[in-house]
Chains A and B, each alone.
Chain A
């Protein structure tokens, strides 16, 4: 090869034109690829506005097959467009490469032809001293600049991260459940919940229960509890509105005499599982009609329980398309009125998916003696007067609850308490009984729950106590301020708490039964794991804590020590919660047999009358009467 410099003769005109054409081609392709790339990034093929609106229309008219086909075609079209765009970018890339190669070759050839023979320049020689001086100067300045910028950023952003991490690790170590509470475990269970796969979740819950078991040494529990409390104190819940301060309220006893004279809510006054009525019958037979004063069919089936105020009995019924509240004359079973719940602003066109064993109206209605309040699985909440006339109604937003919303309502003075623990935005709120205005709302860092609120007088405070994974929490019923919280409960919490002798008892299946001493520093007094419930709530009578399981075991614990006084197995399981009335426990099994036994240290059966109809609902009581909602009928038992 010849290495000597020689001028090449190239067709400069040709190469220049090739370069211009190839360069222009490359530029156009580059622009097209760029536009395509931007298009791809802007369009989400599975989330287009048009298809979303069509899908929404389809949800309103699920039988519109033409619309369904149209959506499918559009979806295919959008996906095709997406992949075509991708293909275009790829193909454009190859074309661009080709264009750039041709341009580069043409330009190289063009400039090769323009090359001139090397010339010896007579320009002044570079001053090496000056160059080195300048280089030193700029290296020095560059170094100073670098140091200044680095230090500035370092001091502005310095966070002692190492120490923060070490401390955070220590905190995480001393509070092991911290890692699995609000952040870590909620989401996976949410995912499981989405799939409505209870079976899959069980191991998770079991695992958590094991963790709790491991934490048995009380000292450690106390430390953990204290730490939790500290955190709880630091992070006060968000209270949207301060309720109007009523000094009288704080010291007023709860439940009120009026409430005790009636049966105004799920599990009676305050939701405590106690009936204050007398002469409760113990003998009836649904099949023969013995002591059945009346029996009526309920128009729409639901799992909520009856409530009573005066001569009136209320309950609700709902399916995917209808929601109704019923008022009966409790003396003769006459349906006095039916209130249809419809046309509520914000109410979704389609009811949310619920499981058959929960239904669209699992929440029991409540009353304050002036109004009836009912809530449904789609988030509709309504207040009706005693004549069935709507006072106010609103939609709280569709609860994201994979079985269906089932927390019942409770009234405290002028406040309607709503436990709204759903996936997206768990909260507890108080609405004005008069107009439905939100008096306060407190966010809750909990998973979805199906338990109901309980209001109890603890010392001088009237506390609203809620149970949901991961905690049992108490709120000031007037302001919604969190009073105390104890992380002690896991899983899909269905049972509500019970309160007796100033102690709060909470439980859930695969977790534990916990006796909590409430207060600023709540304390676990004792824990038990043998008999747990996933649906029925516990009840307390004196020192006897009655735990009912859904598989048929009933156990009496010594409320103070946590020792088992007796245990009894029944053939049928229980979904209804036990109610203490007249010193006896009334417990309805799923076959409709009411097990009546003494709330005592020893098991003593009083009677076991059968309804002759299956039932999962908790009975309501009036003097000399028991009201039971069966699968289809409403019964009045009495003499």
Chain B
């Protein structure tokens, strides 16, 4: 366990942008004339396995508690309390790591790289919220995820976005998920962690750029509920899918809907499906024809997507540090150019150019095939979204959208129906 955790900690250390840490390292050592000897640089001890277990147990406890608050007590206050706990513990205390959102990458890396042993805590953080979602809907998003909770705290004047815009923006997390999988599978980077807008705030060490991004998300959160969760979070789309088939999802009314319409505007995420009357629906024949047509072009969209992204694979591969270094080395002319730190580092590493070029060529090949899959995946998402937008479902009651609803429990108090 300790070994696993140390590997994980090292990986996280490599991936994360420790701006302040780097700043300290950059500061040159003073030269003492008094005979003072410099202490040897040592790495901090990895987090003890017992604490990783504590994290997992607290995750389970928080999930159980919030699920109980939502499903049994139907209490928004309970959700707020759990949210505050999550922000404090999973956010500020645990500094946003390990988190379920980033754990997607650990799982992917473990699947594609047999040499990588996934830490059990990372696996638990990936699986446990999925299991809870499968049974109770997205209660994890409601207040256990510190990223969602911190946005929720800032929500003051919710503004409703146009439905069509939400649908379009809702495709972004799929693309982000695809990219995160590609980069994790090729061992390039954990981009979800690197570009996590809140982790730098939790750690008080954000770079200026990441702090600005995080602050912008929080400011947007004042008016638009959970912009990161809805339009960026890659783990959210997985939970969205799982939640659609959840066994016991949150319901607005504890009994039967009386069509009072009081809850109609209560959801800041616009995740309440309103009743659909038959007269609103499109002509069944033309809708069916469109559905079949769009269904048929899905393979074409996948092929187009795959071809397009495969052409883009060199650009995608440039994120990989080895490929970037090899490319830099390829165009490096020591006569006219100043040697970069990366080239200097490579030169002193003792590795040959041949090895670097061969490795980079192999990575590019991985990206080439990965890009075909990523493109096909994006094409599939676009195709299914288009086809899904031709389906009309007759609905009588006000129901939460099981995929989109994050079970924040705001709507519950609007329902006048007693159990």
Contact = CB atoms under 8 A, between A and B. Distances in A.
A107 B352 CA distance: 60
B368 interface: yes
A187 interface: yes
Given A139-B168, A161-B364, A155 B311 contact: yes
Contacts of A214: none
Interface stretch (A123-131, A492-500, A552-560): A123-131
B155 to A, nearest CB: 9
Nearest to B390: A132
A179 B355 CA distance: 11
Contacts of A176: 352
6 contacts: A93-B204, A129-B282, A135-B164, A135-B168, A154-B315, A179-B353
B215 to A, nearest CB: 8
Contact of B343 (A107, A140, A183): A183
Given A134-B164, A158-B314, A173 B354 contact: yes
Contact of B164 (A4, A37, A131): A131
A187 B263 contact: no
Contacts of B339: 183, 187
Interface in B85-123: none
A186 B339 CA distance: 12
Interface in B342-368: 343-344, 347-348, 352-354, 357-358, 360-361, 364-365, 368
Contacts of B162: 134
Interface in B283-332: 301, 304-305, 308-309, 311-312, 314-315, 317, 323, 326-327, 329-330, 332
B151 to A, nearest CB: 11
Interface in A151-187: 151, 153-155, 157-159, 161-162, 164-166, 168-169, 172-173, 176, 178-179, 182-187
B57 interface: no
Nearest to A151: B308
Q: Range of interface residues on chain A?
A: 35 or more
A303 B103 CA distance: 69
B317 A161 contact: yes
A77 interface: no
Interface of B: 23, 27-28, 73-78, 153-154, 156-157, 162-165, 167-168, 171, 204, 208, 260-266, 274, 276, 280-282, 301, 304-305, 308-309, 311-312, 314-315, 317, 323, 326-327, 329-330, 332, 334-335, 339, 343-344, 347-348, 352-354, 357-358, 360-361, 364-365, 368, 382, 385-386, 389-390, 392, 412-414, 416
Contact of B344 (A37, A137, A154, A187): A187
B357 A188 contact: no
Interface stretch (A142-150, A282-290, A578-586, A613-621): A142-150
Majority DSSP secondary structure for residues of B touching A = helix
List the 3 closest pairs (A to B, CB-CB), nearest first: A169-B357, A135-B164, A165-B361
A238 B336 CA distance: 11
A158 B313 CA distance: 9
Contact of A153 (B77, B315, B357): B315
Contacts of A135: 163-164, 167-168, 389
A173 B413 CA distance: 72
Contacts of A147: 304-305, 308
Contacts of A132: 164, 389-390, 392
Interface string A45-59: 110000000000000
A536 B78 CA distance: 88
B75 A3 contact: yes
B154 A143 contact: no
Given A136-B386, A161-B314, A183 B163 contact: no
Contact of B353 (A118, A172, A188): A172
Interface string A111-124: 10000001011000
Given A37-B208, A118-B265, A169-B361, A142 B168 contact: yes
A4 B413 contact: yes
A139 B311 CA distance: 22
A90 interface: yes
Nearest to A147: B308
A158 B334 contact: no
A interface SS class = helix
A132 B75 CA distance: 34
B361 A166 contact: yes
Given A3-B74, A128-B276, A143-B301, 11 more contacts: A93-B204, A135-B164, A162-B314, A165-B360, A169-B357, A169-B361, A176-B352, A179-B353, A183-B332, A183-B347, A235-B335
Interface of A: 1, 3-6, 37, 45-46, 86, 90, 93-94, 104, 107-108, 111, 118, 120-121, 125-129, 131-132, 134-140, 142-143, 147, 150-151, 153-155, 157-159, 161-162, 164-166, 168-169, 172-173, 176, 178-179, 182-188, 235, 238, 443, 445
A159 B361 CA distance: 13
A187 B347 contact: yes
A162 B358 contact: no
A129 B279 CA distance: 10
B204 A90 contact: yes
A136 B291 CA distance: 12
* Chain B CB within 10 A, most for which of A46, A128, A155: A128
A172 B357 contact: yes
A153 B347 contact: no
A556 to B, nearest CB: 39
Contacts of A137: 164
Nearest to B364: A162
A86 B323 CA distance: 35
B73 A1 contact: yes
Contacts of A94: 204
Contacts of A153: 312, 315
Contacts of B156: 107-108, 111
B330 A111 contact: no
A183 B345 CA distance: 12
B260 A172 contact: no
A172 B167 CA distance: 51
B314 A159 contact: yes
Nearest to B153: A104
A46 B26 CA distance: 11
A165 B357 contact: yes
B357 A4 contact: no
Contact of B77 (A1, A5, A136, A138): A1
B312 A162 contact: no
Nearest to A238: B335
A147 B365 CA distance: 22
A37 B23 CA distance: 12
A104 B151 CA distance: 11
A138 B392 CA distance: 19
Contact of A120 (B264, B334, B358, B390): B264
Contacts of B171: 139, 142
B357 A139 contact: no
Nearest to B344: A187
Given A126-B274, A139-B382, A182 B266 contact: no
B361 A157 contact: no
B309 A164 contact: no
A159 B317 CA distance: 12
A52 B251 CA distance: 71
A138 B168 contact: yes
A155 B314 CA distance: 10
Contacts of A161: 314, 317, 323, 327, 360, 364
Of A118, A155, A178, the most chain B CB neighbours within 10 A belong to A118
A90 B73 CA distance: 41
Contacts of A140: 386
Given A104-B153, A161-B314, A128 B280 contact: yes
B165 A138 contact: yes
Query: Max chain A CB contacts within 10 Å: which of B28, B157, B314?
Result: B314
A557 to B, nearest CB: 34
Contacts of A184: 347, 353
A204 to B, nearest CB: 12
B82 to A, nearest CB: 14
